[in-house]
Structure 1
Amino acid sequence: MIPHRGLAQPFVLILAAIVVGCRTEVPKNVAAMVNGRPITYEQLEKQYQIYFGGQTAELSPEEEAIRKLEVLRSLIDNEIMLQRAERAGLLATDADVEAKLAELRAPYTEEEFRKQLQARHMTDADLREHLRRDLSVQRLFNREITAHISVTDQEIRQYYEANRSMFHFPEPQLHLAQILVTPHPDPEVRNLRRDKAQNREEALAKIKAIYARLKQGEDFALVAQAYSEDPNTAPNGGDLGFIPESALEQASVELRRAVLALQPGQISDIIETPEGFRIVKLISREPAGQRDLSDPRVQQTIRETLRNRKDQLLRAAFYEMARNEARVVNYYAMRLYQAKGPVRPGEGNK
């Protein structure tokens, strides 16, 4: 039977489209496209070096490729948010960048600052571009998320009544947060990036990359939520709550010394403990005694806790919505899959 001409034409058109699509060339040196804007392999490699530096010498090609996929996902997410900030007219100005740069320089001598950049494989121009992107995205978050978060007096009272014991301190307390990276596989880890070190080398490289990000000014709670491997605290931005000072007697000497040396708002250096590698932040110190709801410090603590919870939830949702709306093509992932294994940047662009 001869097919009806009206049915055959659409089939031919669809077949032609498939054939043309299969012959579409992958743009050279492009690791991914985000709404038509390329992320190059040069950018990927540079960011990879910033995150991991010289901690890749003994990695297998497969392990290195997995890390690069993770770095590329981060670049894609950042590009999605940067484009949204650009469309909203929220890009950071030169003055904003210079002000943030001066803030980062402040704790260091010029020589120390240069060494920090060299350790991260960054130039002045790299750092300025990094700051411009981060400040622009932060402006976007402030408008789309932070500005819409409110905490009512009723919510504060309800939290206090449900957690009254948290505000009774029989001895001085330390309000701590942590980022933990462990050297062993753990299926219970559920951070936002689904990122888990598999051995000591990976754990050390990861904690160093995290420390570098924190030193560049990234928010501790958000980094902890994304990368910490403690399933109990990662969802809350690493918040450990209030810890009695006496509890530090059971900690390792290195951890105890590091915590007691901190001032509120400061983070520790990388600390190796039996469980893995830690970075600890001291949020506040509180003397002994009962804290009533009328205490402004109690209200502020509860308000910040509730705001952080809402902020983390809305940011996670905002990222998912933005990903859904973006047109993303991950050419590096496609090439890895097609090659059934690791490939060099110049391979597979056919």
Structure 2
Amino acid sequence: MNVKTKLSDCLRPLLLGALFLGTAANAAVQSIDKVVAIVDNDVVMQSQLDQRVHEVQQTIAKRGTAVPPASVLEQQVLERLIVENLQLQIGERSGIRITDEELNQAVGTIAQRNNMSVDQFRAALTRDGVSYDDAREQIRREMVISRVRQRRVAERIQVSEQEVKNFLASDLGKMQLSEEFRLANILIPTPESANSDAIQNAAKQADAIYQQLKQGADFGQLAIAKSASETALEGGDMGWRKAAQLPPPFDRLLSTMAVGDVTQPMRTPGGFIILKITDKRGGETQVRDEVHVRHILVKPSPIRDEEKTKALVQSLYTRIEAGEDFGELAKSYSEDPGSALNGGDLNWIDPSVLVPEFREVMSKTPQGQLSKPFKTQYGWHVLEVLGRRATDNTTQAREQQAMTVLRNRKYDEELQTWLRQIRDEAYVEIKLPGANQAAQ
């Protein structure tokens, strides 16, 4: 096993971002290489350590921060290489493989994120002195580590229904999942010690502005001319605010308003304020279109070729059109084990979970009618649309959002625990001069 070749581009978190910005550098060619750490069944070489230290120094320098000497960074960088090496070994033992197609897709995605074609991306790497093959190998290894973490860490995470409910009921949950508004404001101030006349005059001024806005006056221009807010010169633009961050009654009031609407003047400690919703996002009702459909699936087999399969489904279509019962024919002929016993009934289903060919035919088939036979990757089908409906999925969507937030939070915690665990359980012998020796 050529370990130097195997680990010469060992992965590291977030390095890709630096690599694709041109901060990576090739390690200097060394006439003599040596092992700096034994890690279970593999090793870390001095050349790998030198290359990674140099790359870290380059990244630090690019931030404008003082770059520490290599001797200061070596132990920390070596520890990172050891943990990454352990994850790659786990991936190899687990049979995790990245296909060329998957790797090509990943490279294409990275190039696209950098506003490049793959050829442009390849040329950029060459200009930065980075081998395209080495970059591909680095991406492949990062993909392996990512999959190892998903398998080993994700399976340790459990989020209960009660945790989801508690989160949704908490102030933090309401804050994170509440809708957001892009707001602009006009403030007519009242002094802290204002008397009733001053307050009344401010109220009249605010109401006059509100009337102008109702008649179509430009909010931004009025804000620049009349507002005492610190955002007046920006046309009153306050940026994005979550509903849960706004004081009553604005939190409830804005939720009932549409983009472009303006509030009536509201008294606040600082004066009278008028708000305009210039945009909004999140928190909206989640409506999902569903279709009630049933189908019959017939698959080609060693004893029934493509033509005979097509002929059979055409025959079934003709029999249903002639009045035979769809459900009974589905029970007798359909080869979809999930629906055959139910007369081919898929019940109410989200079209997005279906293969494109099935989804397209279903969308074009009127309710109560039968489709002509058609083919998908699974075989030949005939389907009948029994109904269509729009379902309010807001509650389920919010629960799913909460589940995602909680899982991500637990994932970060579990990942650190798991990394410490695999490091503690591994046999590691450090041979770097001056470093603390460790054998486990």
TM-score (norm 2): 0.39
Structure having the higher helix fraction is: 1
Structure having the higher strand fraction is: 2
Compare CA radii of gyration and give the structure with the larger one. 2
TM-score (norm 1): 0.48
- Structure number with higher relative contact order (C-alpha < 8 Å, ≥ 6 residues apart): 1
